[in-house]
Structure 1
């Protein structure tokens, strides 16, 4: 019947995949996403390099599949921006999402607007990663480029533009720019006028899942796609992953886990959350009538991998031996009782994320005794991450004004069933694990399908394509142990905060 094509521009890889309308992946190709660094540590992607790699992946996919491509959509990280001149040509490199060169500009925004007012308008904290800060940096350091620029695009926008010749963005990406009024659901004239930036520099905002253009002849010649193939507006990568995760099937929270772990609450349509900053970022979802509350753990998978390597091998000492498998290690850790025999882990190895956002916070083990084993410590790491997850989920629930029904997990940690069971027990909520390893790509494919009428809407598609997801139920008896431990965990943050800061100054 035909295939749906999805593009994902990620921090680690560029990917293109083809899916059946039932959601089965029939082909996937990828290349590393190459970031370039200067002597100051500033990071960029080269736009022509990104486009060339995406075009080559599209050509490979189109040559390998022998079915009609019904529609194409794309997802990407947010905050990585590229300027285009009035001829549609790139006039500077893409500043990566994680680049922090605009710290001075972020501070100036706070001085002019104020933190509370900035959040009231944008739903964001004054972080230099956001595009408004980067645009002001460009205005100061490269005024010639700023004057040349006719449009600022993010990565999804850029790739869809290269395929269609149309410049547009969606609400999930626009609301991560710091130039967007999250309550009015439009570009913020108030902020743009304050910083003397023309609103015309930002693209038209269109609904994710709507056709925004078609493949041009020029793009078809490069990619192997057919001229006139529908291009459907995609969106931010985590929200895209939420569709096959089943987040729209009830009042649920996306748990997107990798090196870091993002927790995203998606509101019902036309039901705004409390617009009060409690450590979250308040954005718009793929569906413009829904809000998305963001909170995260900076070093989630990173904490587990650090502990796993530290506790299970001796290669750092120059002693090489066969390493045990994850299954062998976790089978032993599973025998450790809830509470890890009294040891508690604070997982802020790269600074704390939501709700505190403190780059100078550090991690630690509390309650250590000579009786504790490697197995105790590894379980304590997973429990500490689960306690932090509960803190973020509680924050989302307070803002939303209602409890979440479940967490929908996508990403690498979903394969660690012990970790997910611990999380279910700590939160006393079901954990639903997405059975599609490429959830972001499938989410983009779903949007493509919505755009050409294969799916009625996002909600219908999300419910249908998440039916096979695995569910882990909480063990209520473990709550007797985890509830007092969670209370200690919450107190431990404040108890160790000053010590962390003092250590960082040495």
Structure 2
């Protein structure tokens, strides 16, 4: 039997896990939702332990690889106890301090953490994000996973932390994605290597192969990010450019901070919390695009606006990068094939589902492969492991109808921004 890697990704609302073989086969996969209350670091540990018990991933296990969202922050005190936690998407409270204007994604979140939890911040030995906290809990080693050297400005330096009146000693040392951090016990198996995956968006790029120029990834869960790999940095209104997985390239992204959350809120407000997503989407899709009585299904109104926002992002990225790519899907939204097709109809683009909707998990296997000796590089690993499962191409009749509505929405959208 082939060796496997146990991939774990900490999301906003759940932990996703899978056992993946060296040839890219999904041996088992499971997702565990966190309790619906203020997040605690113990939620991550509890969900991880539940995953271990569910998968029993000890047979031929080569490594554990951990990734997750950021910049979520949790403080660990001098007694090695997790104290307070700030999720990446929690809004900042008003402050009289001068707002941060630099390039770091982490410094403004650390500042917010220190304002909300001054005692915990002062007492903190370490500030860790979700995946690094789980690594610390399992190995005792405090690290910060730096996806690639060029990301340093998006994280911090000793100087930028000091300039912003933050404590550099609370920031663990950087290690690269794919590095072996330590070992841990998984189930009954001792001394299993723990490999640093990295931030979820970065790992998803690896898991969808979106790190060669012109390749693209639509990573959609609670939030959504459209990503296109480019040869050069992109400077364009609304586009965020960060380094790509490979050192010679860049990643241009368009962010939709709440596309999944908007639909979740509609589902709850409409009394459909217990209705499975596919069943609810079928009801929406069975309603007419242009109803005779002008009474548009409220759910259709919600998802069309989400789809229009996606189309606007795709069009902007096409203008900014010069590419009009197929988008490889990743994230919780990708599991809903009806939505994938509707997204293709609205945007006119092609969307591709791979063997797993969770690109972060396949990305974990891709990133771990060189350290395990499975493949010489992550590019070789991605080409071997990432396989197309299903394509979603636009229905041209539907696309024409949606285009009429999109142009009206776009005109109104630009009037209100």
TM-score range, shorter chain: 0.7 to 0.9
Match of 2:283 in 1: 329
Residue 192 of structure 2 is aligned to residue 225 of structure 1? no
Match of 1:146 in 2: 121
The secondary structure found in structure 2 opposite 1:442 is helix
Task: Find 1:463's aligned residue among 383, 398, 403.
Answer: 383
Match of 1:453 in 2: 373
TM-score normalised according to structure 2 size: 0.81
Match of 1:18 in 2: 19
Deviation at 1:280, TM superposition (A): 4.2
Asked if 2 retains the 8 angstrom alpha-carbon contact of 1:14 and 1:33, the reply is yes
Residue 238 of structure 2 is aligned to residue 279 of structure 1? yes
CA deviation map 1:239-292 (0-9, x unaligned):
323333332355133212234433233444xx3222x6x334444455566544
Q: Distance in 1 between matches of 2:281 and 2:399?
A: 26
Q: Distance in 2 between matches of 1:284 and 1:487?
A: 33
Task: Find 1:205's aligned residue among 155, 174, 177.
Answer: 174
Residue 100 of structure 2 is aligned to residue 108 of structure 1? no
CA deviation map 1:199-256 (0-9, x unaligned):
3322222221232x231xxx42x853322x2221111223323333332355133212
The secondary structure found in structure 2 opposite 1:244 is helix
Match of 1:473 in 2: 393
Match of 2:113 in 1: 134
The secondary structure found in structure 2 opposite 1:94 is strand
Task: Sort the Cα spacing of 1:471 and 1:137 in 2 relative to 1 into closer, same or farther, 3 A.
Answer: same
The secondary structure found in structure 2 opposite 1:463 is helix
Match of 1:392 in 2: 313
Structure with higher Rg: it is 1
Match of 2:84 in 1: 93
Match of 2:135 in 1: 160
Task: Sort the Cα spacing of 1:167 and 1:266 in 2 relative to 1 into closer, same or farther, 3 A.
Answer: farther
Q: Distance in 2 between matches of 1:76 and 1:391?
A: 27
Asked if 2 retains the 8 angstrom alpha-carbon contact of 1:253 and 1:404, the reply is no
Matches within 5 A, 1:76-475: 76-85=68-77, 89-90=80-81, 92-100=83-91, 102-105=92-95, 108-110=97-99, 113=100, 115=101, 118=102, 121-122=103-104, 130-138=109-117, 141-142=118-119, 145-172=120-147, 180-182=152-154, 187-211=156-180, 213-215=181-183, 219-220=184-185, 223-227=187-191, 229-248=192-211, 250-268=213-231, 271-274=232-235, 278-287=237-246, 290-304=249-263, 325-326=279-280, 329=283, 332-333=286-287, 336=288, 340-341=289-290, 371-374=293-296, 379=300, 381-399=302-320, 401-474=321-394
Asked if 2 retains the 8 angstrom alpha-carbon contact of 1:245 and 1:254, the reply is yes
Q: Distance in 1 between matches of 2:148 and 2:78?
A: 22
Task: Sort the Cα spacing of 1:416 and 1:373 in 2 relative to 1 into closer, same or farther, 3 A.
Answer: farther
Asked if 2 retains the 8 angstrom alpha-carbon contact of 1:72 and 1:445, the reply is no
Asked if 1 retains the 8 angstrom alpha-carbon contact of 2:281 and 2:338, the reply is no
Deviation at 1:324, TM superposition (A): 11
Asked if 1 retains the 8 angstrom alpha-carbon contact of 2:18 and 2:29, the reply is yes
Deviation at 1:429, TM superposition (A): 2.8
TM-score normalised according to structure 1 size: 0.69
Deviation at 1:156, TM superposition (A): 0.9
Deviation at 1:440, TM superposition (A): 2.5
Task: Sort the Cα spacing of 1:371 and 1:305 in 2 relative to 1 into closer, same or farther, 3 A.
Answer: farther
Q: Distance in 2 between matches of 1:308 and 1:197?
A: 41
Q: Distance in 1 between matches of 2:18 and 2:278?
A: 33
Asked if 2 retains the 8 angstrom alpha-carbon contact of 1:247 and 1:462, the reply is no
Task: Sort the Cα spacing of 1:207 and 1:286 in 2 relative to 1 into closer, same or farther, 3 A.
Answer: farther
Q: Distance in 2 between matches of 1:390 and 1:193?
A: 41
